[in-house]
Chains A and B, each alone.
Chain A
Amino acid sequence: MTGSLPPATARRTRTLISATSQPSLPPHIKLRHDAGRGRWHVLAPERVFEPDPIAVEILKRCDGVKTVQAIAEVMAAEYDAPLADITADIIAMLQDLADKGVVRA
């Protein structure tokens, strides 16, 4: 999935997230469960983020294969929410994370 992409850390253009994007976490970004604190963290270069439970569910599905649309469909069913709203929320969240270098697509 990364063969045609420039190295994640050497981007020359901004990643724009859309419904057809296939988001993933670069190898140096780690979604990790912290047993001691009983919560998930996203470990990034000199940064630690605390994703909320919904963000964790989305990030777990960012495998570079599933599209944002596919992730949104699962989440909409799971949380019984309108697909359009969920899609928009996920795009906004992943765009923010892409701008922070946490997600690529």
Chain B
Amino acid sequence: MNEIVPADKIADGGEAAACARAPIGMLCELTHRCPLQCPYCSNPLELDRVNTELSTEVWQDVMRQAADLGILQIHLSGGEPTVRKDLEDIVEVAAKVGLYTNLITAGVTLTRDRLKRLKDLGLDHVQLSIQDVDDANAEKISAYKNGLEKKRELGKWVREFDMPLTINAPIHRLNIENLPNIIEFAVEMGAGRIEVANIQYYAWALKNRAALMPTRAQVMRSAEIVEEAKQRLKGILVFDFVVPDYYAKTPKPCMGGWGKGIMNITPQGRVLPCHAAESIPGLEFDNVKDRRLADIWLNGQAFNMYRGTSWMKEPCRTCPRAEIDFGGCRCQAMAFTGDATNTDPACKFSPLHADFVAAAERESGVPNPPPFVYRRLGGAKTDAVVD
């Protein structure tokens, strides 16, 4: 039995037509509002404001369209999705049309009653993010007081209602040394799954890269810790280990291939091939208010721009890994090389690979990293060193 996350199988070749099958997953950023201010947030630097958010009715219609299109799983995210008072109304429709519903939450605004209601309406799974298992450090990272205590409480309710739980732990310089305790925390919380997710450096994380990047030695050690824990906790905790690609030799197959398995909807309704795609100039993003989801997926300019392999230049075009990693991440290629059709600088064949690795080594080696630029409306206007 094969796992097909995140990409669906392609019958043949890498051409757009063959790739243009139904996506299996859809990330719904219901809002960019969030009580936390984590400096590695994957939301764009320009956050959508509350008065531009899609209405309940539009989100409900999006759920129906998603099921019709063949999407199997939806990830209700943000910002913090539970700040939307109509979350229940959206979950209710999503569950009714047969979508597998996953709530991605920071867990500080969700009450016991609300969680119970969501469960009764058909919510399938909760993914809870943690900043650290050290209270003071968690507070420093999120700029939010007593968050960890609230998360512990949510964990109790999740167990009480016998709901499946994933702990999502973004890993960086400030918490990487606590990884063994983070894994223990997941076990204590009764999680069935943990994502040990080294920060991917886009958006806010890229702005804060110099404050977040761990050293190569720390990353190698964390990989060993995960490997040991995986064996020890077999059948108890399932691990997802996301490596930081700055220390990799081959790039990650970003999104499992552009326009291949996943779509993302912003709070305003723009439909993106990945959550960072707005950082690439020249892409036109359709809005669910103007166009049907299936039409956007199949025919949208942004989805077809980097679908398959025909857009590739060398060294990707003739690379035997072209359909394994798809040249890596378009957004990272854009951010680091200025051209989204270049190979991802995480790839050893990129002419800029050495500079890319050097940036991580230089920044992680500085004993006193710069202060965080916290994620908040207008916060990105503060200057920060990027590269």
Chain A residues proximal to chain B, CB less than 8 Å: 7-16, 26-28, 30, 32, 34, 36-37, 41-43, 45-52, 55, 93, 97-101
A28 with B1, Cβ < 8 A, contacts A10-B190, A45-B125 known = no
- Asked whether B98 is an interface residue with its Cβ less than 8 Å from the other chain, the reply is yes
Q: Which residue from B5, B127, B158 sits with its C-beta under 8 Å from A47?
A: B5
* Chain A residues whose C-beta falls within 8 Å of the C-beta of B125 in the assembled complex: 28, 45-46
* Chain A residues whose C-beta falls within 8 Å of the C-beta of B190 in the assembled complex: 7, 9-10
Question: Contact: B102 with A46, CB < 8 Å?
Answer: yes
Question: Contact: B73 with A49, CB < 8 Å?
Answer: no
- Asked whether B234 is an interface residue with its Cβ less than 8 Å from the other chain, the reply is yes
Question: Chain A nearest CB: distance from B231 CB in Å?
Answer: 11
Interface centre among B125, B234, B235 (most CB of A within 10 A): B235
* Chain A residues whose C-beta falls within 8 Å of the C-beta of B159 in the assembled complex: 7, 9-10
Q: Which residue from B9, B162, B234 sits with its C-beta under 8 Å from A99?
A: B234
* Chain B residues whose C-beta falls within 8 Å of the C-beta of A37 in the assembled complex: 22, 70
* Count of B interface residues, CB-CB < 8 Å: 36
CA of A50 to CA of B166 in the docked complex: distance in angstroms?
21
CA of A90 to CA of B327 in the docked complex: distance in angstroms?
39
Question: Contact: B2 with A50, CB < 8 Å?
Answer: yes
5 A-B residue pairs with Cβ-Cβ distance under 8 Å, sorted by A, are A9-B192, A43-B100, A46-B125, A46-B193, A49-B4
* Chain B residues whose C-beta falls within 8 Å of the C-beta of A27 in the assembled complex: 162
Q: Which residue of chain B has its CB nearest to the CB of A51?
A: B1
Q: Which residue from B3, B75, B100, B235 sits with its C-beta under 8 Å from A11?
A: B235
Q: Which residue from A7, A97, A98, A100 sits with its C-beta under 8 Å from B162?
A: A7
Question: Contact: A46 with B166, CB < 8 Å?
Answer: yes
- Asked whether B121 is an interface residue with its Cβ less than 8 Å from the other chain, the reply is no
Question: Chain B nearest CB: distance from A95 CB in Å?
Answer: 9
CA of A27 to CA of B73 in the docked complex: distance in angstroms?
16
* Chain A residues whose C-beta falls within 8 Å of the C-beta of B1 in the assembled complex: 42, 49-52, 55, 93, 97
